[in-house]
Structure formats: C-alpha cells, structure tokens
Amino acid sequence: MTRVRDFKSSALGVHAAPQLQVDWQAQSFFENRVWQFLIFLPRWLRTEGGREVIFSARDVDLLQDLLERDFGGYTWGPPLRGVGKRDAQVETNIHRQVVVLASRWRGTMRYFRALRRELEEGTGGKQILILREELVIV
C-alpha cells in the first residue's frame, strides 16, 4: 500500500445531505434504529526503514471536518496495529478506528461506498475496511 495522493473531501460533497444525520429526537421504535459505521483508517505502514505515511495528518483533519459536517460528529479511537499478508509479503499497518452514527437512509450507504472509494484511491489501498451494524438507541 503506497500513498497516492491527498484525501479529497470534495469527492463526498455530492453525497452529503441532512438525512445522513441521526434524528436524536425521534420517539418511535423504527426511528430509533441507526447504523454505526466503523472505519479502519490506515495511517502508517511499518517498514524495515521505519514507517511510511499512508493517510497524513492533513488528510485526518479533512476527514474529521467532513464527518463533523455531514454527521454532526464521530468518535476517534486509539491506534491499532494490524498484521496481514498483502500479495506474498507480510506487512504491519497502524490504523485509527473511527466510529460514526448515521441514519438508516438509502443515501447513507452511497455515502460510505463513495468514502471507501476515495480512501482507496488516495491511499493506494485495496482493503479499506468500513463495517456497518444496526443499533437501537434506547
């Protein structure tokens, strides 16, 4: 995985809409169901010579601004170490875990698919993980 270019938050603009955000005032059972997205954001690739930047500090700032604008906030987790094979090589990555709560709106999935594409194109990665699960707010 080799960094290709800066993160382009503008690529998500076409997918941004107020419906992405959770309606925290909803009272019915159906409306209290939300999606939680877990993004594993690769920050560095560990190499024999040290570490190689995959997603820069500037990219992180742009992503944080984007998630705050489009979803009203996010949770930023601690660094995680991941080890796995890519082609015939074993590599070690340092990831950040980002959690976003979003509405169960059809445009939400389009947004996160576009986010994944943008992250893959910018980082040169083929395995950017974005997981989704349904939550019920009680």
pTM: 0.87
Phi, psi for 45 (deg, rounded to 5)? -110, 125
Instruction: Give the pLDDT confidence score for residue 48 in this predicted structure.
Output: 74
Task: Reply yes or no on whether the pLDDT at 45 is more than 90.
Answer: no
Predicted local distance difference test score (pLDDT) of residue 31: 59
What is the Cα Rg of the chain in Å? 16
**Is the predicted pLDDT of residue 30 greater than 70, yes or no?**
no
Letter for the amino acid at 96? Answer: R
- Tell me the mean pLDDT in the region 35-44: 93
Domain boundaries, the chain: 9-136
pLDDT above 90 (res 138)? no
Q: What is the pLDDT of residues 54-111, one digit of tens each?
A: 889 999 999 999 999 999 999 999 999 988 877 777 888 899 999 999 999 999 999 9
Report phi then psi at 62, rounded to 5: -65, -45
The CATH classification of domain 9-136, taken from the options 3.40.190.10, 3.40.50.800, 3.30.70.120, 3.40.50.10470: 3.30.70.120
Do 54 and 43 meet the contact criterion of CB atoms below 8 Å apart?
A: yes
Per-residue b or e along 34-61, where b marks 16 or more CB atoms closer than 10 Å to that residue's CB:
bbebebbbbbbbeeeeeeeebbbeebbe
